[in-house]
Amino acid sequence: MAEFTLELNDDQKQVRDWLHGFAADVIRPAASEWDEREETPWPVIQEAAKVGIYSLDFYAQQFFDPTGLGIPMAMEELFWGDAGIALSIVGTGLAAVGVLANGTEEQIGTWIPQMYGDADDVKVAAFCSSEPDAGSDVASMRTRAVYDQAKDEWVLNGTKTWATNGGIANVHVVVAVVDPELGSKGHASFIVPPDTPGLSQGQKFKKHGIRASHTAEVVLEDVRVPGHCLLGGKDKLDQRLARARERAASGGERVKNAAMATFEASRPAVGAMAVGTARAAYEVALDYAKTRTQFGRPIIDNQGIAFQLADMRTQIDAARLLVWRASWMATTGKPFTSAEGSMSKLYASETAKKVTAQAVQILGGNGFTREYPVERMHRDAAIYTIFEGTSEIQRLVIARTLSGMPIR
């Protein structure tokens, strides 16, 4: 078991500096253009693939970092560059985590490489869980998966929404209901292979922030996938459903569903994304406060500005520590007895919203224009308290974990 330390080792520092250089030299110069275009920045993703950042090997190396800090460190640096472009680069990772969390070794080896493609033929993947009437309330999910035993196929019908890369992905991972009577415990995840008939893109959303990341509905109309596309396999699913029925009948312990297993694994990473955006806005505000003069002196000479910057930096560092703790605990097998993963996502997300708003205020009128990046950062930061579990849901998870009570 790796010893906990707040000091990055030489290899981690080298990776951090490499990512920071890519974020500074490639992502940041393109950020404003792709935010305005509201399109997937394929040229930037391809550049990331060419240098090895957008690849299965890179994410595997970070994922298996024995300290647990590889992924959060990478997320922070990329999102320091720009949240929209960075999400386009890392968005495939949520689908990959869905396969890692629920799939067999064969499924992992077969499908994850197809999610990324290669530097000459870049691909992306989508994780499809939310629905128009089922976001935080996963028990209300309506997308159905029905098993056709004669053909050993699953037939999927429904509409997914808020899917990053939805409709443009090479591989879609879809969470669907297989046993409606079990509520959220009757869900399973399925791979929808490339060019499967019946899957189409619905509405593409025009968003407040992270506009360089493609977000759309995914429509499933009699989508047939082979039996081996059920993540984990049918035997494992049947066993899990049987346990869920027994526990439901006896009022026993809760069983985690497929979507929640994915989100639990990704929450500290989302926290790291928020830290990156907050840090970027803080740095812009700090530099501005040092150079902007009013009444014959830099505005940082005023306590009203200086104290804000002190609080911003303190909150960013506290958020990073919560993210690192949760990431270290997950990697070393420490149980989240106090919902530490949700804590990290909650605090980092709220910090990003607050810090970017303060950055806009420090820049004054300039901060409200698109001539300065804090306006975009503030718009981008709003998503962190919403996706992959709202702040309200994180508080609910934490409260339930601490109290052991079914708080509603």
- Our measurement of the distance from residue 375's CA atom to the centroid of its chain's CA atoms, rounded to an integer in Å, reads 22
User: Tokens 């596309």 identify what position?
Assistant: 229
**Main-chain dihedrals φ then ψ at residue 326, nearest 5 degrees:** -65, -40
Spell 276-286 as b/e; 16+ CB within 10 A means b.
bbbbbbbebbb
Spell 167-177 as b/e; 16+ CB within 10 A means b.
bbbbbbbbbbb
CB 318 within 8 A of CB 279: no
Q: Check 77, 371, 388, 392 and give the catalytic one.
A: 388
Does 388 qualify as catalytic in the annotation?
yes
Question: Which has the closest alpha carbon to 345: 365, 325, 369?
Answer: 325
- The encoded tokens of residue 405 equal 């009570």
CB 273 within 8 A of CB 74: no
| Amino acid occupying residue 26 | V
Distance of alpha carbon 308 from alpha carbon 102, whole angstroms? 44
| Distance set, CA 275 to CA 79, 81, 309, 330, 348 (Å) | 8, 12, 15, 19, 6
**Main-chain dihedrals φ then ψ at residue 132, nearest 5 degrees:** -55, -35
Q: Which residues have a Cβ under 8 Å from the Cβ of 11 and sit 6 or more positions away? A: none
Catalytic residues: 388
